[in-house]
Amino acid sequence: MEVRRALSLFLRSKTHLTLLGILAAVGFVSALAGFTPAGPVLAAVIYLAGASSLFFSRRGAEAIVARRGSDAEAEALERIEAARKLRDRISYLRLPDAEVSRAVEYALLVSGQFLEACAAGRRFVPRLSAELEDILAACADYLKSADAASSSKRYGVEGADDADGGRADVASSAAAFIRRSADQLSEIRESEFPRVAEGRDIETMRDIDET
């Protein structure tokens, strides 16, 4: 780790904050005792000596590692929340095709368990967001095709029956793509979090949906 990064982590660590608290106490006591002119100088000497010795000590190294872990955990939680909002966007979609709807339900089940595993482990796996974005894009493409076919049929556009057939093909392709993405999420979750117990049997749910 480069020195600048290590110093930044140390300055935000609990150990450094404790040192600052001690300095504040020394300054307060100095002021009460009437040593106001010497207070800042004494505080500066204590800080430089204490901070330097702590930074290069084992305790300082532990403080840096702890701060880095806290930063990583906070970032993971932010990304988990962003993925949760992305999943919510998918759950709000109204999908007229039953096959696509079942595929999305399966994807929501798998991604929900993935999010729970990430939250429990305080760790985020980027592939989760990537797959959710792909699923959302597949749903958007399907809905666009469905709207176009519905408009053609509503206004009696020539070839509307062919558009219905094309919509069915798009729906089938979208459903298959979404299921593949969900399968990949399930495999990644099991690989990344092998010890996390499953709340429900995903394979059973998928088999029920496909029947």
Is the same domain home to 87 and 152? yes
Residues 146 and 196 in one domain: yes
**Reduced DSSP (H G I as helix, E B as strand, rest coil) percent helix, strand, coil of the chain, to 5:** 85, 0, 15
My answer on whether 83 and 143 are in the same domain is: yes
Domain limits for position 178: 77-210
- Report which DSSP code applies to 142: H
Q: At what angle do helices 38-55 and 3-11 cross, to 10 degrees?
A: 120
Number of domains in the chain: 2
Tell me the CA distances in angstroms from 196 to 98, 108, 117, 126, 190, one per residue in order: 31, 18, 6, 18, 8
Confidence band for 32, pLDDT divided at 50, 70 and 90: low
Give the model confidence (pLDDT) of 16-25 as tens digits. Answer: 788 778 777 7
Rounded distance between C-alpha atoms, residue 45 and residue 84, angstroms: 49
Residue 52 within a domain: yes
Within 8 A by CB and 6+ apart from 108, the residues are: 87, 90, 91
> Bigger pLDDT: 168 or 148?
168
For residues 114 and 185, membership in a common domain is answered with: yes
What tens digit of pLDDT does each residue of 42-95 get? 667 777 777 777 778 787 777 767 777 776 778 888 999 999 999 999 999 999
* Confidence band, pLDDT 50/70/90 cuts, at residue 179: very high
190 HSE (CA, 13 A, CB side): 12
**187 and 139, same structural domain?**
yes
Torsion sign over Cα 185, 187, 190, 191: negative
Contact assessment for residue 9 and residue 68, using Cβ atoms and an 8 Å cutoff: yes
pLDDT at res. 151 = 46
Pair (16, 97) in one structural domain: no
Predicted model pTM:
0.64
d(CA 40, CA 145): 72
Start-to-end CA span in the chain (Å): 54
Is 133 found in the same domain as 165?
Answer: yes
Distances (CA, A) of 105 to 118, 133, 170, 200, 206: 20, 15, 18, 14, 9
Contacts of 206 (CB under 8 A, 6+ apart): 106, 179
Percent of the chain's residues with pLDDT above 70: 70
In a domain, 63, yes or no: no
**C-alpha span between 110 and 186 (Å, rounded):** 6
